[in-house]
Amino acid sequence: MGSSRTRNLRRVPDTETRMVFRTIHGYRRAFRIAGEGPVLLLIHGIGDNSSTWQEVIPHLARRYTVIAPDLLGHGRSDKPRSDYSVAGYANGVRDLLSVLGIER
């Protein structure tokens, strides 16, 4: 019943995605941003970073403003002794969106 189909995505130039930094509560936060339109937030898994989304961001950026942060302690964001709980990450993402002026 299930034939495995692989999607071949057309290559879009990587130059459309920018790595940006903001200091929030004294810590540098890194995030990738691209595109225009409604905001689409991509969150990586624990032990990973925003580069996991590099291949799909340009495609999604055709219709959305795509934001893919490096969670605190990951990627190019600061790695302080801090709260690394799920609630802590959620608060950090909320604060990043607030700094960027994104309400929804």
Q: Domain ranges for the chain, please list them.
A: 14-99
Tens-digit pLDDT profile for the chain (104 aa)?
Answer: 554 555 555 555 544 789 999 999 999 999 999 999 999 999 999 999 999 999 999 999 999 999 999 999 999 999 999 888 999 999 999 999 999 999 88
Q: What is the pTM of this model?
A: 0.82
With CA atoms as reference, report the closest residue to 62 among 41, 33, 35, 32.
35
Which DSSP state fits 28?
E
Compute CA distances 20 → 17, 34, 71, 77, 91, whole Å.
10, 10, 13, 10, 19
Whether 71 and 87 have beta carbons less than 8 Å apart is answered as no
Nearest residue to 99 via CA among 48, 33, 44, 35 = 33
Span 14-99 CATH architecture: 3-Layer(aba) Sandwich (3.40)
